Structure 1
Amino acid sequence: MTLASHSTDAAQPLSYSWLLTARRSDLAHFRRLAKLAMRKWQQDDAVTEVVLHGVTELLSNVARHVPDPRCRLELFLEDGAVRVTVLDSSPTLPRITLPDWTAEEGRGLWLLREMADSIGFEPTPEGKRVWVRISGR
């Protein structure tokens, strides 16, 4: 696991950021880190569950679809909402479509969009940014 971490303030950080290599075997570790951040930010269980789903889905997509799995995972607390962001090196933007319920994959972002307040993605000079926003508490 490749990991470098940063937070804005040790007492009450408003963001966390990790440089990592997205591997399915490491998802539980990053879910634990996100859960600790949600506790520090005093988010309720419903918000925490959506945040953890977002961490899992966004990092899984990097591991599955991006040739270079190095990425940045960011958590932000802004205006009472939590934003989960992943930046990766692929310029290919995700497509959120109605899933084929008989398929074994392909419904993650659609489900996340239904659970969160908003989801988005945009190109960056290095690849893309994918984010999900969940109203806090």
Structure 2
Amino acid sequence: MLTSTTSDATGARPRCHNWLLTARREDLARFRRLASTAMREWGQPPRVIEVVLHGVTELLSNVARHVQDPRCRLELAVVDGAVRVAVHDRSPVLPTITLPDWTAEAGRGLWLLREMTDDLGFETTEDGKSVWIRVSADPLG
């Protein structure tokens, strides 16, 4: 299931996209294309697009891999000049970020995202949790 909503309070181009979806690994390329289209609409530079797409992949992969009910909401927004990517899922279990075992096949995605982005955070919500990243077009964050 995939539905999309946009906000457009000023009559200008939408600065926020939300998709209700079921996170499945086989659909990640589709969600990356949706995010890429939004980034191009917003005129984001290649560095921001690359990090945002990596974030979309990692956050949705984590839902597909770790959350029993993979229905979630993917949100992209421009907030104070930075792109914010958030995934809201139905699990109250917060992620942990530790120094990765570089020989392991998994376990380094959020650590890498934290290093690549201007901010990474998570919090419990009424019906699960939200995990987000913020990527600024300004190289100084």
TM over 0.5: yes
- Alpha-carbon deviation of 1:136? 2.3
C-alpha distance in 2 between matches for 1:22 and 1:105: 18
C-alpha distance in 2 between matches for 1:76 and 1:133: 9
- Alpha-carbon deviation of 1:81? 0.2
Query: Which AA in structure 2 matches 1:127?
Result: G
1:36 is aligned to 37
1:4 is aligned to 3
Structure 1 residues without counterparts, runs of 5 or longer: none
- Alpha-carbon deviation of 1:14? 1.0
1:94 is aligned to 95
Equivalences, count: 136
Query: Which AA in structure 2 matches 1:15?
Result: C
1:58 is aligned to 59
1:76 is aligned to 77
C-alpha distance in 2 between matches for 1:48 and 1:6: 21
- Alpha-carbon deviation of 1:15? 0.3
The two structures, once aligned, show a CA RMSD in angstroms of: 1.0
C-alpha distance in 2 between matches for 1:33 and 1:112: 20
Structure 2 residues without counterparts, runs of 5 or longer: none
C-alpha distance in 2 between matches for 1:12 and 1:119: 26
Q: SS at 1:71's partner residue? A: strand
Q: SS at 2:43's partner residue? A: coil
C-alpha distance in 1 between matches for 2:24 and 2:12: 30
C-alpha distance in 1 between matches for 2:97 and 2:16: 27
1:14 is aligned to 15
Measured against aligned partners, the alpha-carbon deviations of 1:58-109 in whole angstroms (never above 9, x if no partner) come to 0000000000000000001011100000000000000011000000000000
C-alpha distance in 1 between matches for 2:128 and 2:63: 12
Normalising by structure 2, we get a TM-score of 0.94
Normalising by structure 1, we get a TM-score of 0.97
Q: SS at 1:106's partner residue? A: coil
